[in-house]
Amino acid sequence: MAAIATQIVRVGTQAGSVIILSRLLTPADFGIFAMASPVLAFAVLFQDLGLGHATVQKDSLSQRDLSSLFWVNLSIGAALALTLVVLSPLVGKFYGEPKLAALTASMSLTLLLSGADVQHLSLLTRQMRFWTLAAIESMAALSGLAASIAMALIYHSYWAILAGSLTSGVVLASGAWLSSGWLPSRPGSIGQSRGMLSFGLGVTGYNLAEFFSRNIDSVLIGQVWGAASLGVYNRAYRLLLFPLQQITNPMVRIMLPTLSSLLNETERYRQSYRRAVLPAYTVVLPGVAFMIATAGPLVETLLGDRWKEVTPVFVGLSVAALLQATNSPANWLFLSQGRSREYMKWGLFVAITSVIAFVCGLHYGPAGVAAAYSVSECLRTPILWWFVGRRGPVGHRDIVQSIAPHLAGAIASIISVHLLRDAMMARLSGDLPTLLACFGLSYAVSLLVIAMFPSARREMYRYVSHGWTKTRVSMRFADN
């Protein structure tokens, strides 16, 4: 429930940010901010070093281990912030945009904030205090959105986006320190934490590769097509792919400690994985199907008429969105099983194939880059699940039985919603009633198709029975 609450707030604030700020700022504003963002994202990769995941995954953890990792994160964050300030003029020269120097230098403040809260957030995750994390992250997201809107109303500038990011970082770091109840001791030797550093480096290798697959598209579009085109691409990405990341990424935090603790119990590990996949897919995939099938009216309704160029980019990214949502549980398996080197190798493969796709589609503009990315995701997906399922408690059969019903339901929803959209738009003048009807139909069709698969029906029955049993126990406890 804590995860669901956090996801609702995350998606709501992200959607609110996209919709409201798109009406207050221009495509060029978003393009300028998107030009500087990959530089910050690249620095963040090395600031964490995967040590947050290492803290959660390790069986036993001492005060010395935790303190050593804290000072490593903080020191690297400070060094990277200074480096970003020094290199900021080069960013402006690369794009031919002088405004980027000051913006990039100011972004360095986020590195200091994130370096200070990595271990505190990881400690809360290790202790499975998910409601505490939900409250902190929700407050940070809402505070950031409020700050961005206030700055946009006053200054109508890309600085409003940075103001929201910094406000969110301050609230998140403050909440993590106050809630964890842990204070670092003096820095000592990190030799005893060598195993955690090795695990973290594997995760960092994957994150570094993922950085290229998620940011080189923006760099190429900004360099070749300019800030306005990049702003259009950025809005499509933020409207479709970024909210999905806000939903799927927190699931890693929940599933990593859960599955790691069951690694020596094969059957329980497998059952926990399949039980977690069911609600994750059931909630996310029909929503993605709805967005794909209603792309045109959805973009115009949310962003306004001046953002019509976003629609073809949105459509181009749609298949990638559907498959990324489907593939996200693979991260749980890699990390909980300690397979960080394989995780890194997979990330490198994704990066190489994504960059090739971006280059192939660049000639055709932002929409071409988006479509090429979706094609590459289609080619990678079967390879990913073969790679994940060849080792560990979850095999290829488990993966197919988990994915097939939900993917079939999403495809059926796309077809049904597309037909309903065309029929209703021919009779109604407004888009909102059509979108609401299509949203409901997407979930109804998806659930109907999922229920046609025996394996999915069994998991649904187990999930409902487990929830009902917990409810009865809670009620009995309350009565006593």
Q: 50: alpha, beta or left, given left = phi > 0 and alpha = psi -120 to 50? A: left
- Round to whole Å and give the CA distance between 395 and 418: 35
Angle, helices 396-425/266-293, rounded to nearest 10 degrees? 20
Phi and psi dihedrals of 380, rounded to 5?
Answer: -80, -30
Residue 97 has pLDDT above 50, yes or no: yes
**pLDDT of res. 468:** 46
Residue ranges of alpha helices (H) inside 49-129 are 51-57, 63-95, 99-126
Q: Are 380 and 242 in contact (CB under 8 A)?
A: no
pLDDT at 320 over 60: yes
pLDDT at 421 over 90: no
User: Is pLDDT above 90 for 410?
Assistant: yes
The model carries a pTM of 0.66
- Count CB atoms within 10 A of the CB of residue 466: 11
Check residue 362 and give its pLDDT: 94
The C-alpha angle 298, 299, 303, rounded to 5 degrees, equals 120
- Whether the per-residue pLDDT at 48 is higher than 90: the answer is no
**Which of left, alpha, beta for 372 (phi over 0: left; psi -120 to 50: alpha)?**
alpha
Q: Is 138:9 a contact under the CB 8 Å cutoff?
A: yes
Give pLDDT, residue 475.
Answer: 34
Mean pLDDT of 394-421: 92
Residue closest to 248 by CA, chosen among 316, 175, 321: 321
Phi, psi angle pair for 260, to nearest 5° = -60, -35
Enumerate residues 6+ apart whose C-beta is below 8 A from 475. Answer: none
Domain boundaries, the chain: 1-189, 194-472
pLDDT at 476: 44
What pLDDT is stored for residue 196 in this prediction?
Answer: 57
If you ran DSSP here, which 8-state letter would residue 392 be given?
Answer: S
Mean pLDDT (the chain) is 82
Q: What's residue 343's pLDDT? A: 85
Find out whether 413 and 291 touch, Cβ atoms under 8 Å. Answer: no
Averaged pLDDT, 70-96: 86
pLDDT tens across 141-166, in order?
Answer: 899 999 999 999 998 888 999 999 99
Q: Compute the distance between CA of residue 459 and CA of residue 449 in angstroms, rounded to an integer.
A: 14
Helices (H), 261-395: 266-293, 295-303, 310-327, 329-336, 340-362, 365-389
Helix 396-425, helix 310-327: angle, nearest 10 = 150
- From residue 336, how far is each of 214, 257, 263 by CA, in Å? 24, 7, 8
Q: What is the pLDDT of residues 207-263, one digit of tens each?
A: 777 777 777 888 889 888 888 888 888 888 877 776 676 666 667 767 777 888 888
pLDDT single digits (tens) 11-21: 677 777 878 88
- Which structure tokens are listed for 30? 């978003």
Q: Which two tokens stand for residue 59?
A: 């069986």
Q: Rounded CA gap, 471 and 468, in Å?
A: 5
Percentages of the chain per state (helix, strand, coil), in multiples of 5: 90, 0, 10
- Percent of the chain past pLDDT 70, that is, above it, reads 83
Confidence of residue 478 (pLDDT cuts 50, 70, 90): very low
Per-residue pLDDT for 271 more than 50? Answer: yes
